[in-house]
């Protein structure tokens, strides 16, 4: 998130000033592309065009690999598909010949469709399976291109599409490809900085937390696969025209490797890095001609070196901002009073009710007939020894586990078992026992992720940075900054989250959960790892949150904190309620004292 | 036609199954799916043709040297691409590191051996037509490998140690098992199995550098069908895949057989993500 992480604007001139350092490298690359026709010959026009075409594909693939974290290693298949679709449509092998500017959009649609088909395994399974399905697709596309002679010309090949004037000269075509490349850079950057881009990174690095904020993985990934497939197919159409004549041999797996490695060299979650990676990898075999045969070997060595030595890629090298040391003696000083302006005050009538919830893991009864009421505006403490089912209860409420028996209701509505993605829309937010934040994103972006479902702009609007998307961004950023102020972390808003201390991550999670302005907040051991001062401030914060009418369910081991702030306490033991009542009652409850508190 | 489908289907299936077992053998001790599995089988063919045809060695010496070479490549993989990324398994860096090694193997083979398929010698000269050795050699090799692995895993101490590491890595280490050495051994063993696949299938697939990528995919499908780390599933899945592919090949033609295999792969992944014989996933929260 280095090159594109522009701070959302407050006013237009300020926005331009903050965006300039991020834009400058792109403008420099564009200027270099403009100068090339003045200094280069036709040979350089060819190289430059090839670079631009590769980047059209990589800019889409980057969202899949660099942002969503899915290792698509066979994208040459979609390039092949686009190249053949365009060529065949223009040549008229299956239908009346089409003009090339009509064939390209059709190829884009075909590419988008197959981008999704190849991506289907990624919706349920990660990494190796998806890598394999793209590899398998790459294998069969080449086989089909060879075997389907009546359409593709088989091993003899087919003529690539020819563009009309003025794009039929070397530099004319170069200009067209550069224009398309500039456009795809713009749209991929738009996606990257929108809530969709943040959601992709959230799904990559903190999938569980992303689900709790209501981000639907299938929807996100399908949108990205559509876009990446379409861009790859367009690149294929341009590639076929550049080659003038295509055979299956033109689409070696080496190309796939080039695309893939360009992104990894560039660095995850960056746009500038992969762009530089594409440029470098395209030029490399040209300036080292004797090495051309070994280029794939070099790419592979490069890949290994990057994985083992420099996982952050070029983007991490260029990320100067996050190398500045942070203040060592910083303290978290929340301003809970600020919450009054951010969170609406609820009338507070609906309660969260659990009745007879039961859940077993194998033979272990994790929860065994639990009844629990969380009233609005109340802090409900949930305590008990390790393994008594506290976190499991939270996971049942937030839908990660489906209870085997029992009912959950929210006011009059039943809360369906399972389906964690739907909890955010129901107004249930949570934090996690081990903070699940996105290390590579800034603190502000982490918090903004929490408000994903509040965005109103569609994916297309985000793609083209239409007004509604810009409004979304401004609103989410403003709310996230305000919440960071309320939890006392506004000074760290632009810092990468993985540079923060453990206690600060806990407060980030609370701010992220509050982005939803939830009716119910589930906190899983928020005080673990905090200093005594911090626990006191946390207590104030939780009290203020519940004073806005939010029902808080607090799982904790710090008995003092529980007895200090809770209105009601439930004690669990072996998945059953051992005792329930006001803190004063629990404190003197005989069994609780002997089983848990000690005394 | 049925005889041809059976002969070529079982032969191809046995090769896919062996590559699947190669994946599983590496996976069992390291939890790493390595892209080198298909390349090892490719090397089995290339090494075999090199030693016996180019250098004129007797078949048995060629086989032994081939297996030795593949075992060595397996061990190198462990050192270069697996060990350094084991600390952060959850980041799945192994996908990239083993892919890098696989690409290096493929590229060296393409440059040093050539990009054209080259013949593999007839080893025994037995049989013709559907009983040709090129059809039954892979099946025989697959059967012998299964028997060998069963003996290893059930009857020998080293084999049981493999099983222990695969079951529960932490507990096995707590018992004092030399986890690192066992892992190296399992990568050498995987190399041998991959080499057997390539050598026995050499007459069918020829000595061709591009077989690596092909077998990477066709060998992974049985693993996906059978579930990660499940050898029995991989064997059944591999044979079924071979028969399915060859049946499609004979009945609807070459183009659609690969489409059919790919469709099967996607459908299985979507309907039974853990494989038909696999276990459920671990808890996430």
Q: Who has greater pLDDT, A26 or A9? A: A26
Are A105 and A160 in a shared domain? yes
**H helices present in chain B, as ranges:** 2-30, 36-49, 59-77, 93-113, 133-155, 157-167, 169-174, 179-200, 202-205, 211-226, 231-252, 254-271
Q: Identify which of A127, A133, A139 has the shortest CB distance to residue B214.
A: A139
Cα B197 from Cα B14, distance rounded (Å): 8
Q: What is the mean pLDDT of residues A103-126?
A: 90
* Contacts B261 to A, Cβ<8 Å: 136, 140
Are A290 and A398 in a shared domain? no
Q: What is the mean pLDDT of residues A399-417?
A: 88
Indicate the average pLDDT of chain A: 88
B261 has a chain A CB within 8 A of its CB = yes
CB A462 within 8 A of CB A198: no
Are the beta carbons of B262 and A400 separated by less than 8 Å?
A: no
Residue whose entry in the numeric block shows the structure tokens 């592919």: B245
Phi, psi dihedral angles at A11 (to 5 degrees) = -135, 165
Are the beta carbons of B101 and A299 separated by less than 8 Å?
A: no
- Range with top average pLDDT, A366-380, B169-183, B185-199: B185-199
**Which of B1, B45, B93, B192 lies closest to A308, judged by CA?**
B93
Is it the case that residue A278 has pLDDT exceeding 50?
yes
* Contacts A126 to B, Cβ<8 Å: 92
Question: Which residues are CB-neighbours of A156 under 8 A, at least 6 positions away?
Answer: A149, A247
Q: What token pair was written down for A468?
A: 């509604």
Are A259 and A402 in a shared domain? no
Nearest residue of chain B to residue A296 (CA atoms): B107
Nearest residue of chain B to residue A209 (CA atoms): B285
Is it the case that residue A4 has pLDDT exceeding 70?
no
A434 has a chain B CB within 8 A of its CB = no
Are A253 and A146 in a shared domain? yes
A297, A311, A359, A439: best to mutate for the B interface, most B CBs within 10 A: A297
At A5 the pLDDT is 42
Q: Does residue A170 sit within a domain?
A: yes
Q: What token pair was written down for A305?
A: 């070196």
Are the beta carbons of A304 and B101 separated by less than 8 Å?
A: yes
- The domain of B133 spans 2-271
pLDDT tens track for B14-24? 999 999 999 99
Are the beta carbons of B254 and A143 separated by less than 8 Å?
A: yes
Distance from CA of B192 to the nearest CA of A (A): 23
Is it the case that residue A535 has pLDDT exceeding 70?
yes
Is it the case that residue A14 has pLDDT exceeding 80?
no
Distance from CA of B251 to the nearest CA of A (A): 15
Query: Which CATH number belongs to the domain containing residue B34 in this structure?
Result: 1.10.3470
Give A270-338 as a DSSP string: -SHHHHHHHHHHHHHHHHTGGGGGGHHHHHHHHHHHHHHH-TTHHHHHT--GGGSPPPTT------GGG
pLDDT tens track for B185-237? 999 999 999 999 999 999 999 999 989 988 999 999 999 888 888 899 999 99
Query: Which residues are paired to A355 by β-bridges?
Result: A407
Q: How many structural domains comprise chain B?
A: 1
**Which of A189, A183, A184, A194 lies closest to A468, judged by CA?**
A194
Are the beta carbons of A307 and B97 separated by less than 8 Å?
A: yes
Answer whether the bond into residue B162 is a cis peptide, omega within 30°.
no
Q: Does residue B47 sit within a domain?
A: yes
Under the banding of pLDDT at 50, 70 and 90, the label for residue B285 is low
Q: Who has greater pLDDT, B64 or B132? A: B64
Q: What is the mean pLDDT of residues A332-351?
A: 84
Are A142 and A233 in a shared domain? yes
* Contacts B262 to A, Cβ<8 Å: 133, 136-137, 140
Q: Does residue A277 sit within a domain?
A: yes
Nearest residue of chain A to residue B94 (CA atoms): A307
Are the beta carbons of B97 and A308 separated by less than 8 Å?
A: yes
A128, A253, A309, A366: best to mutate for the B interface, most B CBs within 10 A: A128
Phi, psi dihedral angles at A352 (to 5 degrees) = -95, 120
At A126 the pLDDT is 63
Q: What token pair was written down for A472?
A: 């979304």
Q: Does residue A182 sit within a domain?
A: yes
- The domain of A107 spans 12-318
Are A217 and A285 in a shared domain? yes
Helix (H, G, I), strand (E, B) or coil at A161: coil
Are the beta carbons of A300 and B101 separated by less than 8 Å?
A: yes
Q: What is the mean pLDDT of residues A333-345?
A: 85
Under the banding of pLDDT at 50, 70 and 90, the label for residue B283 is low
Are the beta carbons of B269 and A121 separated by less than 8 Å?
A: yes
Are A115 and A244 in a shared domain? yes
pLDDT tens track for A452-463? 888 888 999 999
Q: Identify which of A117, A120, A147 has the shortest CB distance to residue B254.
A: A147
Q: Does residue B277 sit within a domain?
A: no
Is it the case that residue A233 has pLDDT exceeding 90?
yes
A301 has a chain B CB within 8 A of its CB = yes
Under the banding of pLDDT at 50, 70 and 90, the label for residue A7 is very low
Q: Does residue A186 sit within a domain?
A: yes
**DSSP code at position A163:** P
Is it the case that residue A89 has pLDDT exceeding 70?
yes
Are the beta carbons of A128 and B285 separated by less than 8 Å?
A: no
Q: Identify which of A120, A208, A294 has the shortest CB distance to residue B285.
A: A208
| Segment among A47-56, A461-470, B64-73, B264-273 with least mean pLDDT | B264-273
At B188 the pLDDT is 96
Is it the case that residue B36 has pLDDT exceeding 90?
yes
Q: Does residue B78 sit within a domain?
A: yes
Are A139 and A279 in a shared domain? yes
A252 has a chain B CB within 8 A of its CB = no
Are the beta carbons of A303 and B100 separated by less than 8 Å?
A: yes
**Which of the listed residues A318, A345, A375 is the one where a domain comes to its end?**
A318
At A343 the pLDDT is 86
Distance from CA of A175 to the nearest CA of B (A): 34
Question: Which residues are CB-neighbours of A239 under 8 A, at least 6 positions away?
Answer: A53, A79, A82, A83, A246
Q: Identify which of A132, A143, A400 has the shortest CB distance to residue B258.
A: A143
Query: Which CATH number belongs to the domain containing residue A377 in this structure?
Result: 3.40.50.300
Q: Does residue A490 sit within a domain?
A: no
Are the beta carbons of B254 and A303 separated by less than 8 Å?
A: no
Q: Identify which of B107, B255, B284 has the shortest CB distance to residue A296.
A: B107
Under the banding of pLDDT at 50, 70 and 90, the label for residue B278 is low
Under the banding of pLDDT at 50, 70 and 90, the label for residue B115 is confident
Residue whose entry in the numeric block shows the structure tokens 């090694």: B101
- Range with top average pLDDT, A144-153, A439-448, B247-256, B269-278: A439-448
Q: Identify which of A125, A139, A391 has the shortest CB distance to residue B213.
A: A139
Q: What token pair was written down for A566?
A: 């809770």
Are A294 and A365 in a shared domain? no
Are the beta carbons of A140 and B262 separated by less than 8 Å?
A: yes
Are A299 and A416 in a shared domain? no
* Contacts A400 to B, Cβ<8 Å: 284-285
Is it the case that residue B241 has pLDDT exceeding 50?
yes
Query: Which CATH number belongs to the domain containing residue A49 in this structure?
Result: 1.10.3470
Phi, psi dihedral angles at A380 (to 5 degrees) = -110, 115
* Contacts A308 to B, Cβ<8 Å: 84-85, 97
B269 has a chain A CB within 8 A of its CB = yes
Are the beta carbons of B269 and A137 separated by less than 8 Å?
A: no
Is it the case that residue A221 has pLDDT exceeding 70?
yes
Q: How many structural domains comprise chain A?
A: 2
At A161 the pLDDT is 93
Q: What percent of chain A has pLDDT over 70?
A: 96
At A103 the pLDDT is 94
Q: Which of residues 400-419 of A touch B (CB under 8 A)?
A: 400-401
Are A109 and A247 in a shared domain? yes
Q: Does residue A571 sit within a domain?
A: yes
Under the banding of pLDDT at 50, 70 and 90, the label for residue B282 is low
pLDDT tens track for A567-599? 999 999 888 898 899 998 988 888 888 877 765
Indicate the average pLDDT of chain B: 89
Q: What token pair was written down for A489?
A: 């972390």
Are A43 and A177 in a shared domain? yes
Q: What is the mean pLDDT of residues A346-365?
A: 86
Is it the case that residue A202 has pLDDT exceeding 60?
yes
CB A498 within 8 A of CB A405: no
Q: Identify which of B111, B224, B255 has the shortest CB distance to residue A129.
A: B224
Q: What b/e string do you get for B164-173 counting C-beta neighbours within 10 Å, with b at 16 or more?
A: bbbeebeebe
Q: Does residue A213 sit within a domain?
A: yes
Q: Does residue B27 sit within a domain?
A: yes
Q: Who has greater pLDDT, B252 or A427? A: A427
Q: Does residue A192 sit within a domain?
A: yes
């Amino acid at each position: 998130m280095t090159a594109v992480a522009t701070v959302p604007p407050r006013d237009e001139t300020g926005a331009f000033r903050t965006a300039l350092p991020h834009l400058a490298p792109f403008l420099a690359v564009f200027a270099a592309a403009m100068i090339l026709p003045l200094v280069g010959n036709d040979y350089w026009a060819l190289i430059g065009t090839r670079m631009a075409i590769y980047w059209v594909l990589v800019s889409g693939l980057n969202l899949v690999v660099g942002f969503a974290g899915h290792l698509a290693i066979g994208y040459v298949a979609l390039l092949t598909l686009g190249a053949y679709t365009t060529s065949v449509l223009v040549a008229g092998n299956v239908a009346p010949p089409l003009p090339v500017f009509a064939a390209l959009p059709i190829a884009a649609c075909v590419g988008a469709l197959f981008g999704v088909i190849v991506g289907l395994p990624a919706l349920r399974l990660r990494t190796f399976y998806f890598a394999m399905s793209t590899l398998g697709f790459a294998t069969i596309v080449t086989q089909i291109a060879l075997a389907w002679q009546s359409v593709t010309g088989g091993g003899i090949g087919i003529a690539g599409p020819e563009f009309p004037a003025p794009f039929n000269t070397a530099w004319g075509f170069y200009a067209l490809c550069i224009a398309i490349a500039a456009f795809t850079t713009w749209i991929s950057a738009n996606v990257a900085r929108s809530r969709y881009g943040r959601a992709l990174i959230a799904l990559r690095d903190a999938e569980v937390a992303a689900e709790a904020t209501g981000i639907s993985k299938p929807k996100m990934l399908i949108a990205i696969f559509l876009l990446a497939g379409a861009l790859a197919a367009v690149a294929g159409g341009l590639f076929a025209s550049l080659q003038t004549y295509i055979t299956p041999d033109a689409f070696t797996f080496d190309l796939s490797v080039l695309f893939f490695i360009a992104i990894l060299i560039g660095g995850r979650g960056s746009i500038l890095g992969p762009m530089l990676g594409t440029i470098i990898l395209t030029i490399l075999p040209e300036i080292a001609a004797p090495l051309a045969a070994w280029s794939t070997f070099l790419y592979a060595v490069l890949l290994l070196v990057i994985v083992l030595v420099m996982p952050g890629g070029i983007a991490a090298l260029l990320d100067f901002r996050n190398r500045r040391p942070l203040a060592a003696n910083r303290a978290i000083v929340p301003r809970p009073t600020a919450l009054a302006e951010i969170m609406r005050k609820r009338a507070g009538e609906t309660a969260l009710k659990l009745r007879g919830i039961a859940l077993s893991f194998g033979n272990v009864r994790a929860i065994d007939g639990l009844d629990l009421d969380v009233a609005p505006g109340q802090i409900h403490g949930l305590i008990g020894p390790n393994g008594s089912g506290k976190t499991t209860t939270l996971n049942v409420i937030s839908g990660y586990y489906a209870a085997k028996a029992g009912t959950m209701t929210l006011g009059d509505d039943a809360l369906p078992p399972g389906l964690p993605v739907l909890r955010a829309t129901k107004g249930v937010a949570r934090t996690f026992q081990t903070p699940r934040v996105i290390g590579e994103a800034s603190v502000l972006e982490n918090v903004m992720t929490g408000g994903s479902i509040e965005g109103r702009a569609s994916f297309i609007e985000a793609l083209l940075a239409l007004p509604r998307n810009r409004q979304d961004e401004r609103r989410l950023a403003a709310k996230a900054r305000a919440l960071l102020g309320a939890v006392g972390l506004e000074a760290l808003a632009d810092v990468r989250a993985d540079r923060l201390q453990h206690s600060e991550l806990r407060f980030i999670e609370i701010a992220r959960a509050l982005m939803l302005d939830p009716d119910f907040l589930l906190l899983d051991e928020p005080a673990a790892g905090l200093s005594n001062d911090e626990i006191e401030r946390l207590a104030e914060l939780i009290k203020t949150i519940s004073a806005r009418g939010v029902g808080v369910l607090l799982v904790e081991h710090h008995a003092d904190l529980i007895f200090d702030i809770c209105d009601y306490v439930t004690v669990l033991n072996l998945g059953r309620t051992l005792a329930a009542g006001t803190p004063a009652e629990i404190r003197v409850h005989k069994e609780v004292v002997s089983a848990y508190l000690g005394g | 036609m049925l005889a041809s489908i059976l002969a070529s289907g079982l032969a191809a299936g046995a090769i896919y199954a062996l590559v699947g077992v190669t994946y599983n053998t590496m996976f069992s001790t390291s939890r790493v799916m390595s892209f080198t599995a298909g390349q090892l089988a490719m090397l089995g063919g290339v090494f075999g043709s090199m030693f016996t045809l180019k250098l004129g060695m007797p078949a048995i010496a060629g086989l032994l040297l081939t297996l030795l070479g593949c075992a060595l490549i397996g061990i190198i993989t462990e050192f270069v691409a697996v060990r350094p990324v084991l600390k952060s398994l959850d980041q799945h860096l192994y996908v990239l590191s083993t892919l890098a090694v696989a690409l290096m193997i493929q590229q060296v083979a393409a440059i040093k051996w050539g990009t054209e398929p080259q013949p593999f010698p007839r080893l025994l000269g037995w049989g013709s037509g559907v009983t040709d050795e090129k059809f039954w050699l892979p099946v025989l090799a697959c059967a012998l490998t299964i028997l060998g692995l069963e003996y290893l895993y059930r009857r020998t101490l080293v084999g049981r140690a493999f099983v222990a590491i695969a079951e529960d890595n932490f507990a096995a280490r707590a018992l004092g098992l030399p986890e690192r050495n066992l892992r190296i051994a399992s990568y050498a063993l995987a190399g041998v199995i991959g080499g057997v696949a390539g050598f026995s299938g050499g007459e069918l697939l020829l000595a061709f550098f591009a077989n690596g990528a092909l077998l990477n995919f066709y060998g992974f499908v049985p693993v996906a069908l059978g579930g990660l780390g499940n050898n029995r599933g991989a064997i059944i899945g591999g044979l079924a895949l071979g028969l399915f592919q060859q049946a499609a090949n004979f009945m609807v033609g070459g183009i659609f057989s690969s489409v059919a295999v790919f469709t099967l792969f996607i459908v299985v992944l979507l309907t039974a993500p853990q494989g038909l014989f696999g276990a459920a996933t671990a808890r996430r929260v």
